[in-house]
Amino acid sequence: MKRDCSSGSQKRSAFGAGRIVLASLASHGFPSGYQDSRVKRFLSKNGLVILGFTFILSLIALLAVGLTQNKNTPENFKFGIVFDAGSSHTTMYIYKWSAEKVNDTGLVYEIEACKVKGPGISAFASNVQDIPVYLSKCMGRAKELIPKYKHHQTPVYLGATAGMRLLRMENEQSAKRILASVTSFLNSYPFNFRDARIISGSEEGAYGWITINYLLGKLQKKQNSEDPSSRKNESQETYGALDLGGASTQITFVPKDTNISSPIKFMQFRLYGWNYTVYTYSFLCYGQDQALLLKLAKDTVETPSGTLLDPCFHPGYERMVDISDLFNNVCTREYKDLFPFDKLRIQGTGDFLQCQERLHNLFPTTYCRYTSCTFNGVFMPPVHGEFGAFSAYYYTMKFLNLTSDKVTSEDMVIEKMKQYCSRPWKEVNTTYADVKEKYLSEYCFSGTYVLTLLQVYNFTDYWKHIHFMHKINDNAEAGWTLGYMLNLTNMIPAELPQPKPFSRPTYISLMVAFSLVLAIVFILGSIIFHKSSYFQK
């Protein structure tokens, strides 16, 4: 009878009502020592089973976690979109990188460079309603290329450069209207639109410098080499950046002597634990398209005639230019005058030396109030280190076959230009029938302009240090857009990330091993505890 009773209470205790049953047994007058020993026996028998069971379960769970963590999961990619709204055209770049390797250098890939059909956005001042159509094709491409579930976390930026800077100087309201229209259109997409703004010339120069040095692996490589304090001259490591656009041009580099007195504040960067003191300057109106207008405006003023014999175009080439287009421009309006003709006929003569002479007039060397200057009395330290030249520097020199490292002197470039400019337009036009006429007709001018600008910067005996570049290491194009995105998404840390003490597999193995030890210790502990309390009894 008693046995039946006790076995009944044991059964119920297994369902969690043990305490109530035990209390009722006590009230029925069983001795308390008898009660305790039964409870202990119950626990020592079932407790071991429960502990063993828990142990096996935890082991399986730990192994499962370890295996899941270590199996080859597909990489977690991130994307970013940057529109380069230049003076002559807009390009949309899509970048892709692995989220795990976010702080490593050189791991961002440009997966798309979508050229927006049409002119630069500053041309939409009087037809902002056309902006959605203008941008929609490339945005459609972005929707196609970026997986849908990533859209909401993909940042979109639009940076406008010199074309919009000039429009803002001419008509601030127009520039604002264009940016507002761009903003509302880009906001209508499921991406994470951040902003559409006009970037400054210094930003354009600095981000171009960051881009090339990031892609060339110049920023982070040092971490494995030496102790930062032992390196004296960081410019030996980084490349200067030369960007030539249609409306402005930038030069950015780490000068040899950063202690020289400067009227312009040097830029200070701290990247991957290193400090950089960078000189950057952006020359508005000295992009190649504006420089051509400037040259034509000056020529027209100096020899006012309806026909201009122009040595910067091939013999036999002709072009008509509206006088109003030539002078209704922030860069040329200081030369505005009254002319008895409203169209200018340009006739090419193809003479490189004469062309160069005229182009030198665009760079007056006025009085320099500082330790060293470039043209227009602008402070510039002597050029120093290796340089990467991109955008129109590259397009022009690539076409002229002058980007090879075998072109080591300025004389080699001069020889090539003399010969190229003198070629009749008819012959050039048929030889390169597939090249856009606007570009083809201007390579004589732009080649001469590149050479003259570099002479003005004092690269004459320094030519072999200029490296014309486009796509770097097959990762991404040289230009300001990548540096802009890297900065805005905090992908370049100021300090070097501390390496983790263990690799992931080591970490998981250690976790499993320690958990096992813990489980064993716990089980052994419980057994010993139960055994000792049993013997005590």
Window 156-175: contact mask with ligand ADP (x via CB under 6 A): -----xxx------------
CB proximity list for 259: less than 8 A, separation 6 or greater: none
- Across the beta sheet with 318-322, what order do the strands follow? 307-310, 343-348, 318-322
Query: Using CA atoms, how far apart are residues 258 and 530, in angstroms rounded to an integer?
Result: 76
The contact pattern for Ca ion, residues 235-274, with x = CB under 5 A and - = no contact, is ----------x-----------------------------
Site for Ca ion contains 287 (CB under 5 A): no
287 binds ligand ADP (CB under 6 A): yes
Q: How far, in Å, CA of 264 to CA of 81, rounded?
A: 32
Convert residues 66-95 into a mask of x (bound to Ca ion by CB under 5 A) and - (unbound): --------------------x---------
441 binds ligand ADP (CB under 6 A): no
Q: Virtual CA dihedral for 39, 41, 45, 50, nearest 10 degrees?
A: 30
User: Annotation-wise, does 455 bind a ligand?
Assistant: no
- Residues 219 and 276 sit within 8 Å (Cβ to Cβ): no
Name residues contacting ligand ADP, limited to 98-127 (CB under 6 A).
Answer: 120
By the rule CB under 6 A, 141 interacts with ligand ADP: no
What whole-number distance in Å separates Cα of residue 533 and Cα of residue 277? 74
Please, which residue, 48 or 125, has the CB nearer to ligand ADP? 125
80 binds, options Ca ion, ligand ADP, none, Cβ within 5 to 8 A by partner type:
none
Through-space distance between the first and last CA atoms of the chain, rounded to whole angstroms: 25
Strand intervals (E) in 116-186: 155-160
- Asked if 251 interacts with ligand ADP (CB under 6 A), we say no
Q: Does 392 sit near ligand ADP (CB under 6 A)?
A: yes
Active-site residues, by number, are 204
Buried b (16+ CB within 10 A) or exposed e, 146-184: beeeebeebbbbbbbbbbbbbbbeeeeebbebbbebbee
Q: Which two tokens stand for residue 468?
A: 């014309």
User: Which does residue 441 bind out of ligand ADP, Ca ion, none, counting CB within 5 to 8 angstroms by kind?
Assistant: none
Contacts to Ca ion from residues 204-233, by CB under 5 A: none
Residue 201 sits in the site that holds ligand ADP (CB under 6 A): no
Helix axes 437-456, 352-360, angle to 10 degrees: 60
84-92, 171-179, 331-339, 468-476 -> range binding ligand ADP (CB under 6 A): 84-92
C-beta separation of 259 from 381 below 8 A: no
Question: 247 contacts which partner out of ligand ADP, Ca ion, none, CB within 5 to 8 A by kind?
Answer: ligand ADP
Q: Cβ-closest residue to ligand ADP?
A: 245
159 is a site residue for Ca ion (CB under 5 A): no
Chosen residue from 252, 282, 391, 452 binding ligand ADP by CB under 6 A: 391
289 in contact with ligand ADP (CB under 6 A): yes
Comparing CB distances to ligand ADP, the nearer of 106 and 246 is 246
Number of residues in contact with ligand ADP under rule CB under 6 A: 20
Is 246 annotated to bind a ligand? Reply is: yes
Task: Decide if residue 492 touches ligand ADP (CB under 6 A).
Answer: no
Task: Detail the DSSP E strand segments found in 254-342.
Answer: 267-271, 274-284, 307-310, 318-322
Note whether 239 and 210 are within 8 A (CB). Answer: no
Give the residue from 315, 323, 275, 256 showing the smallest Cα distance to 296. 323
User: Of 159, 146, 129, 130, nearest to 189 (Cα)?
Assistant: 146
Q: Per-residue b/e over 261-287, b at no fewer than 16 CB within 10 Å?
A: ebeeeebebebbebebbbbbbbbbbbb
Of 447, 138, 522, 180, the residue nearest 288 (C-alpha): 447
- Partner whose binding site includes residue 288, from ligand ADP, Ca ion, none (CB under 5 to 8 Å by kind): ligand ADP
State the binding string over 428-467 for Ca ion (x if CB under 5 A, else -): ----------------------------------------
250 belongs to the binding site for ligand ADP (CB under 6 A): no
Distance of CA 131 to the CA centre of its chain: 25
> Does 249 count as an annotated binding residue?
yes
Q: Which stretch binds ligand ADP (CB under 6 A): 8-16, 64-72, 87-95, 321-329?
A: 87-95
State the binding partner of 248 from ligand ADP, Ca ion, none, CB within 5 to 8 A by kind. Answer: ligand ADP
Binding-site positions read: 246-250
Binding site for ligand ADP (CB under 6 A): 86-89, 120, 161-163, 245-248, 287-289, 391-392, 395-396, 439
Binding-site positions for ATP read: 246-250
Binding site for Ca ion (CB under 5 A): 86, 245
